[in-house]
Amino acid sequence: MTRTDFRTLDLTTLDVTEMFVDRVELFVKGGDGGRGAASFRREKFIPLGGPDGGDGGNGGSVVVRADPNADNLAGLTMKKHWRAKSGEAGSGAKCAGKNAEGIVLLVPPGTIVRDRERGNVLKDLVQPGDEVIVAKGGRGGRGNVHFKSSTNRAPREYEPGEEGEERWVSLELKVIADAGLVGFPNAGKSTLLSRVSRATPEIASYPFTTKSPNLGIVTIGDNGFVLADLPGLIEGAAQGVGLGHEFLRHVERTRVLIHLVEPFPTDGSDPVKNYHLIRKELREYAVPLDGKPEVVCVSKAELTGANEVRDQLAADLGLEVLLISAVTGEGLQLVVGRVAQMLDTIKREEAEAAARKKPLEFATEGAIRTTDFQTTSVTSITPPSDEANP
């Protein structure tokens, strides 16, 4: 048998219009195994050469792999059905059929792969290089050489080869970022992202200009972190109002939240109430998100009276509230520094927790037989014995 080769499809190079796709369903099928051969050795002066049918090749598998160069699932929308090739049939002289090439679908890190019918998670592709076989190719069938015996010297049996697996899978992308910007529409999230990183999100004076998450790398000396501009939330987002669930699920993987509060909303609403409304949506989401560390900022500090709004919000929360302006740059270094410090603390705590984690230890019989425990013989499993209860 030859080694199975995989044909990698780089979906990031497809000519796709500018769009952000974070959920897609695909039909995948592994290739069928090649059938085994039923042949006999025929050479001059060897009239009874016996069976020499080779095995069929294995079918190709369909693999989903996390690739750091992919940023969303848009490339997968161009084709819904992915079928790997079948293995070649075996032949005489014990020649095995060639294994078929597999297919590798490249997706962004943070993609969750589920079986659509059962709903179970096949794998959460968090790190670049993580992969999962979603449709395994069938094993090639055996040739008649395997069926030879002392009583069957000329077998004509062979195996047709196994069918490849097939299923519908759903891919769901949850953006992986160290910090995420949350807040009501038009709070200045996109402007802030464009000022502290090289990202170029759409910026306009009307709400809901951001319809998909934007990522930017914030550099601090030799270090940095990934900042996500998450689309503006509205009241009722946790119950699916608007595109609530589509937005909130991207918050799940962030370590720190930067909550921007607009001091003078265009709809005349109370900024303090707006803050609590966003916190309510984070708390009522299927996976509660209000426990994440948070940096609270009042944006648009260049506006007269923004300082008073900051003081009012700080008094209501009993916490520090920063005053920033993406236009003038006021407070930007401070908020970036606070987020970097919080991330350092979180990562250090995660590393310490991982170091403290011990491998599972299983109790031995000697450890169980102590004064704190009693052992009882079970008739159907353990036969009665004088040594069962020392």
| Residue 327 assigned ligand-binding role | yes
| Residue 367 assigned ligand-binding role | no
| Residue 230 assigned ligand-binding role | yes
| Residue 80 assigned ligand-binding role | no
| Residue 232 assigned ligand-binding role | yes
| Residue 155 assigned ligand-binding role | no
| Residue 187 assigned ligand-binding role | yes
| Residue 277 assigned ligand-binding role | no
| Residue 210 assigned ligand-binding role | yes
Dist. CA 153–CA 133, nearest whole Å: 40
| Residue 186 assigned ligand-binding role | yes
| Residue 44 assigned ligand-binding role | no
| Residue 138 assigned ligand-binding role | no
| Residue 224 assigned ligand-binding role | no
| Residue 190 assigned ligand-binding role | yes
| Residue 184 assigned ligand-binding role | yes
| Residue 300 assigned ligand-binding role | yes
| Residue 149 assigned ligand-binding role | no
| Residue 229 assigned ligand-binding role | yes
- Extract the annotated binding site for Mg(2+): 190, 210
- Extract the annotated binding site: 183-190, 208-212, 229-232, 299-302, 325-327
- Extract the annotated binding site for GTP: 183-190, 208-212, 229-232, 299-302, 325-327
